[in-house]
């Protein structure tokens, strides 16, 4: 019966256009039903697309964060290399100004004992380093070689309690001795009377006395002068010119009269034997 009814409707529609109005009317009620039937499928597809997009964005965001971290780390390293290059250039420029032979040494470690200001560098006797050599940075005197080992050396800073350096006031040539205070930013001048011609801001340079430090190297700047009436000596402190707590590279200095020794291979006994035989 359903088939016959369908055939009859098709024949009627083909011969008569009156069923078009009925089709249009029914579509008003049927189309929403079709949309409702397709709605779950559409929602599932859109949800899957949203989840896929979210996952993709999350992975991409993670990758971008990792790339950003890597690039930031590289920038930090480049910044450190740039600052190291600036320091080395300053050391090189100052080595030419000094006019003496110098050797650049890198910092290896710092002695953490209280009041002992000793650092270790990566140059030793294999490079001709020996005790009591002056050590400088780009700004002034750092200290002197305290102990030289084959592959490293210990440097005693000028602020060590056991260190003393002969200095003179650059303004008037007044001679005195600067003694370490145990503080990296302070030197003491304990042997000047209260009427000494010295004032805050005076530059102290090496006097050349004692034979360790050649004359004319910047040492410190006077920052306090206190005269004490009841004591024979004044209280005078100075701030070192060298950046003792920031150095990564130091200059070990040789005098002009003493050339830097070269590293040579130990001589063998065979050449000596041949020489004696020739004789």
Assigned token pair, 178: 């600067």
Q: Is residue 98 part of a domain?
A: no
Q: Is residue 183 part of a domain?
A: yes
> What pLDDT tens digit does each residue of the chain (279 aa) get?
767 766 666 666 555 555 666 666 666 667 677 677 777 777 887 787 778 788 888 888 888 877 776 676 566 556 666 666 666 666 666 555 555 688 889 999 998 677 789 999 999 999 999 999 999 988 889 999 999 999 999 999 999 999 999 999 999 989 999 999 999 899 999 999 988 999 999 999 999 898 888 888 889 999 989 887 788 899 999 999 998 988 888 989 886 544 445 444 444 444 444 444 443
Give kind and range of the element (H or E) at residue 120. Answer: strand 118-121
User: CATH code at 230?
Assistant: 2.40.10.350
Q: Is residue 35 part of a domain?
A: no
Give how many domains the chain has, as a whole number. Answer: 1
Give kind and range of the element (H or E) at residue 252. Answer: strand 249-254
Q: How far apart are CA 277 and CA 279, in angstroms?
A: 5
Q: Is residue 7 part of a domain?
A: no
pTM value is 0.62
Assigned token pair, 193: 């009377």
Residues 189, 140, 151, CA angle at the centre, nearest 5°? 110
**Residues of the domain holding 225:** 164-241
């Amino acid at each position: 019966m359903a088939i016959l009814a369908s055939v009859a409707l098709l024949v009627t529609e083909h011969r008569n256009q009156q069923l078009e109005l009925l089709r249009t009317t029914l579509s008003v009620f049927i189309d929403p039903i079709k949309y409702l039937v397709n709605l779950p499928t559409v929602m599932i597809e859109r949800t899957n697309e949203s989840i896929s997009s979210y996952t993709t964005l999350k992975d991409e965001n993670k990758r971008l964060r990792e790339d950003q971290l890597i690039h930031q780390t590289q920038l930090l390293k480049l910044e450190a290399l740039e600052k190291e290059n600036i320091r080395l250039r300053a050391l090189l420029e100052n080595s030419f100004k000094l006019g003496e032979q110098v050797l650049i040494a890198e910092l290896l470690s710092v002695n953490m004992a209280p009041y002992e200001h000793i650092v270790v560098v990566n140059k030793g006797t294999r490079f001709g380093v020996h005790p009591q050599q002056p050590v400088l940075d780009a700004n002034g005197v750092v200290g002197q070689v305290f102990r030289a080992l084959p592959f490293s050396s210990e440097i005693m800073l000028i602020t060590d309690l056991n260190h003393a350096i002969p200095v003179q006031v650059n303004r008037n040539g007044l001679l005195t001795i600067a003694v370490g205070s145990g503080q990296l930013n302070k030197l003491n001048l304990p042997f000047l009377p209260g009427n000494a011609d010295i004032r805050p801001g005076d530059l102290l340079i090496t006097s050349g006395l004692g034979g360790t430090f050649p004359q004319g190297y910047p040492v410190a700047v006077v920052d306090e002068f206190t005269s004490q009436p009841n004591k024979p000596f004044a209280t005078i402190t100075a701030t070192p010119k060298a950046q003792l707590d920031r150095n990564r590279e130091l200059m070990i200095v040789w005098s002009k009269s003493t050339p830097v020794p070269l590293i040579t291979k130990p001589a063998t006994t065979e050449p000596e034997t041949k020489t004696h035989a020739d004789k």
